[in-house]
Amino acid sequence: MTPQPAAPPLPTTLTASYERCRRLHASYGRSYYLATRLLPAWKRPHVHALYGFARRADEIVDAVDMTADRALVLDGFVARLVAGMAGEPVGDPVLPAFVHTVRAFDIELADVDAFLASMRADLTVTRYATYDDLLGYMEGSAAVIGTMMLPILEPLPSADAGRAREAARQLGLAFQLTNFIRDVVEDLDRGRIYLPLADLDAFGVTEKDLAGGRTTPAVRDLVAFEARRARDHYRQAAEGIELLVPSSRPCIRAAYELYGGILDEVAAAGYDVLAGRVSVPRRRRLAIFTRHLAAASSAGRAELRARAETH
């Protein structure tokens, strides 16, 4: 008997897709998910949808135990996205929510394309010679996540669109570089080094030093240098918070502090990122969340009153 091709998966309902994205966000993006709880309830699912989409693509290119060709799996994911954007029902757990969010907020498709291009680069590129080279990758892997978030967060009507977009870009870059600093060992396990090779050379650090877990003074100096670079991106992003509507500011302030807190923990560990994955202690995460909760509640109530008065 000739084997029959497997039936295509049934389309996922929009409600189920949003819930799947929320669960992914809660499971894998703890700090960011916590900050998202400070947003008005109607905005949260759309942030989860962006996270779920990015997480799913990242899982495909990072899979080390996938028996199928990762490029073909990514091709299939992109094909389902294209079909979904064309209005076709797709059998994918995260794409219905993502497509709905893209349409609802008129998210730029060029940003989506840039993100997917960086994900595809992860299939073949494992080193970046200079920071400019790394920035080219991060433009798609991180900066555009910030700009895709921007319409959901809502800049003030009076805000300069260019300034708001650049601040969102910088925050995405800051978060991504923070992750690269924290995750040196995990990335090495996947065969990748995201710290620029020119920086390794400048500080006299070899790939063997990193792979062997040798936290030499040179390694500490290298990590401290990259942390200062990340903090510069945070500084450039900071002004963008005031360009958002008040109901979105507590979330981004909290996310800013939570991710910046990772750099604080790296510094507290003497810039030793090879001994183990640092994290912001749960008590500090909750303290940051609580500190912004009153402002989030007040801004949310004011937003609801303003909407009621205009209807």
Q: pLDDT, tens digit, for every residue of 126-144?
A: 999 999 999 999 999 999 9
- Please report whether residue 2 resides in a domain: no
pLDDT band with cut points at 50, 70 and 90 for residue 10: low
Amino acid 299: pLDDT? 87
CB burial class (10 A; 0-12, 13-18, 19+) of residue 54? buried
108-111 long-range contacts, Cβ below 8 Å, gap at least 24? 108/147, 108/148, 109/85, 111/144, 111/147, 111/148
Task: Please give the helix or strand (H or E) that residue 284 lies within, else none.
Answer: helix 282-309
Task: Specify whether the CB–CB gap between 230 and 172 falls below 8 A.
Answer: no
Q: What percentage of the chain has pLDDT greater than the value 70?
A: 95
Tokens of 279: 């994290």
Q: Are 80 and 8 in contact (CB under 8 A)?
A: no
Give mean pLDDT, residues 18-22. 97
Examine residue 104 and state whether it is found in any structural domain, yes or no.
yes
DSSP 106-128: T--HHHHHHHHHHHHHTTT----
| CA nearest neighbour of 173 among 131, 129, 138 | 138
Residue 285: the pLDDT is: 95
Indicate the number of domains in the chain: 1
In a domain, 4, yes or no: no
Banded pLDDT at 311 (limits 50, 70, 90) = low
The answer to the question of residue 152 being in a domain is yes
* Helices 44-62 & 70-85 angle (0-180, nearest 10): 150
- How remote is the C-alpha of 211 from its chain's centroid? 25
Structural domain includes residue 253? yes
Mean pLDDT of 278-295: 95
Q: How far is CA 220 from the centre of its chain?
A: 26
In a domain, 309, yes or no: no
In Å, how far from its chain's centre is CA 136? 16
pLDDT of residue 168: 98
Mean pLDDT of 168-177: 98
* 257/244 Cα distance (integer angstroms): 17
Residue 64's pLDDT is what? 57
| Cα-based distances in Å from 311 to 6, 33, 40 | 51, 32, 19
* pLDDT above 90 (res 306): no
Strand partners, 155: 244
Residue 5 clears pLDDT 60, i.e. is over it = no
For residue 229, being part of any structural domain is answered with yes
pLDDT score, position 50: 98
In this prediction, residue 93 carries a pLDDT of: 95
Residue 1 has pLDDT above 50, yes or no: no
In which band, very low, low, confident or very high, does the pLDDT at 212 lie, cut at 50, 70 and 90?
Answer: confident
pLDDT in tens, 47-106: 999 999 999 999 999 875 555 689 999 999 999 999 999 999 888 999 999 999 999 999
Using only the alpha carbons of the chain, give its radius of gyration. Answer: 20
User: In angstroms, rounded to a whole number, what is the distance separating the alpha carbons of residues 205 and 184?
Assistant: 13
Cα–Cα distances (Å) from 63 to 70, 71, 122, 179, 194, in that order, read 8, 11, 11, 18, 17
Report the C-alpha gap between 73 and 122 in whole angstroms: 14
pTM: 0.92
- Name the helix (H) or strand (E) containing 48: helix 44-62
Q: Which two tokens stand for residue 160?
A: 């300069």
200 contacts 134 by C-beta, under 8 angstroms: no
% residues pLDDT > 90 (the chain)? 86
- For residue 292, pLDDT over 50 is answered with yes
State the residue range of the domain holding 203. Answer: 14-304
Mean pLDDT of the chain: 93
Q: What is the per-residue pLDDT across 216-274, written as a single tens digit (0 to 9) for each?
A: 999 999 999 999 999 999 999 999 999 999 999 999 999 999 999 999 999 999 999 99
Query: Would you state the pLDDT for residue 8?
Result: 52
- Residue 1 in any domain: the answer is no
258: helix, coil or strand? helix
CATH number at residue 299: 1.10.600.10
153: pLDDT strictly greater than 90: yes
